Structure 1
Amino acid sequence: MKHINFINIVFFLCTASVSISSLAQTDAGKQPRQSYTNHKPLAHHQVALEVLAASEAWIQAFNKGQSQVCVSGYRSDAVLRAKPFGLKKGIKAIKEFWTSFLNSGAANLVYTQVSIGVINEKTALLSANWQMNVGEGHIYQEKWVKENNRWLLAYDDFEVLKKYKRPISYTLNPVTSHKALAQAIKASANWIQGFNQQNAQVCGKGYAKNATMHGVPLAYIYDQKSIETFWAGLIKQGARNLTYHQPKFTAQTDHTVILSAQWSMNIGEGEIYQEKWIKQANGWVLNYDEFELLKKYL
């Protein structure tokens, strides 16, 4: 089953074809400028992967009791807001906090439902639920910044929502949520790369068999084969240079990741409201994809 707005899609593809073929004949100063080309198509995906790796390393250091390594993960002028412990300004106060906390017996830190939003190539925001042997809570914001090729925490805001009466032990993987996010981000990057290499088959295989794609105002499609046909048509007309800008990746579960972002390509730009990535036996695929074309160039 599928529903495609044929008037819109045919008009879009035809005008896109005319626009693309006319670029060579158009004065360079009059050509429409594609948005978000100040960075490479996958630059913000790479940022997310790097920050996830830095976050994983911080968690692993915490769980090994390596307070100095944890402290070195902050900028010298970082701010730590830890409710109900108060505000810690600067590396000295942050060092005292984590050293004391780890010496008290805190361990087994686990992050779940991790979400990471990329601001630019040097800034990303992370939030998550957390738990450890002494309690659990929520991380409202970890602001990660890149300095001298290292990702460091500039701001850290979390809260203890529940303190256990006595320490508990568990065997959860502390970074399962991180791993799920990283896998889905790589699957998304592979899809974008496939599109930019004009490979409709890669795009089609990136969807589940029963996937739904809602491309406003172009099409509403309910199966993988028809979705691949849609992308093949767009690629055939010359669409290329798909770029994701300021993506946000959220691990709803260990098998479900939600992505939203701004996007652009050589023929237009818009918004991705939701890409729902699910983990299947053969890897991560799109189960639902809703985006909108907000501006068509030329």
Structure 2
Amino acid sequence: MNTHTTQLALCKAGISAWQQAFNRQDAQACAQQYTEHATMKASPFGEFTGREQIAQFWQDIMDQGFHSVDYSDVDWQPSPEGGYILTSKWTMNKAYGVVHKEHWVIEADGHARLIYDEFEVLGEK
């Protein structure tokens, strides 16, 4: 496999790991799919920086009964800054929305993690 194919496969493994962690209600494992100092913009909730704040956000969402996230219309594009950008639609048991930008990068340990995540809740189910 060439470098781009390998990087994209790692990024796809990263989002899969995040989705599995969310669906088993493991906020800490979700946060581990972000870089140490990642930024997450979650509209309308606010902006969160770093794994600790991001883990707390996901725990709060889970505590409110949200689960069963799924992605559709997923698009991956190479980022000029390295890694890949994911855009998609998403649904959960109680809400749906859109991912405006997930920037996945390959870290020194060979794992892809989110350095930037921007998504929006468009409505409730």
1:53 to 13, 32, 45: 13
Q: Which residue of 1 aligns with 2:57?
A: 97
* Unaligned ranges ≥5, structure 2: none
Amino acid paired to 1:155: Y
Q: Which residue of 2 aligns with 1:274?
A: none
* Cα separation, 1, equivalents of 2:17 and 2:80: 22
* 1:115 matches 2:49: no
Deviations along 1:125-158, one digit per CA (max 9) or x if unpaired, are 1111000001100001001111121111110000
* Cα separation, 1, equivalents of 2:97 and 2:63: 20
Amino acid paired to 2:118: D
* 1:152 matches 2:113: yes
Rg larger in structure: 1
* 1:86 matches 2:73: no
Task: Please give the secondary structure, in 2, of the residue aligned with 1:136.
Answer: strand
Aligned-residue CA RMSD (Å): 1.7
1:96 positional shift: 1.1
**CA 1:59–1:107: 2 relative to 1, 3 Å:** same
* TM-score, length basis structure 2: 0.92
1:42 positional shift: 2.7
* Cα separation, 2, equivalents of 1:42 and 1:146: 15
Task: Please give the secondary structure, in 2, of the residue aligned with 1:81.
Answer: strand
**8 A Cα contact 1:47 1:121, kept in partner:** no
* Cα separation, 2, equivalents of 1:90 and 1:54: 17
**8 A Cα contact 2:31 2:51, kept in partner:** yes
**8 A Cα contact 1:88 1:94, kept in partner:** yes
Equivalences for residues 275-294 of structure 1 within 5 A:
none
**CA 1:115–1:139: 2 relative to 1, 3 Å:** same
**8 A Cα contact 1:48 1:117, kept in partner:** no
* Cα separation, 2, equivalents of 1:162 and 1:75: 28
* TM-score, length basis structure 1: 0.40
Amino acid paired to 1:108: S
Q: How many residues align?
A: 124
Q: Which has the higher contact order (CA 8 A, sep 6+)?
A: 2
Equivalences for residues 73-222 of structure 1 within 5 A:
73-119=33-79, 122-147=82-107, 148-164=109-125
* Cα separation, 2, equivalents of 1:110 and 1:53: 15
1:45 positional shift: 1.9
Deviations along 1:33-54, one digit per CA (max 9) or x if unpaired, are xxxxxxxx83212211221111
* Cα separation, 2, equivalents of 1:80 and 1:131: 18
Equivalences for residues 221-240 of structure 1 within 5 A:
none
* Cα separation, 1, equivalents of 2:50 and 2:81: 24
**CA 1:47–1:120: 2 relative to 1, 3 Å:** farther
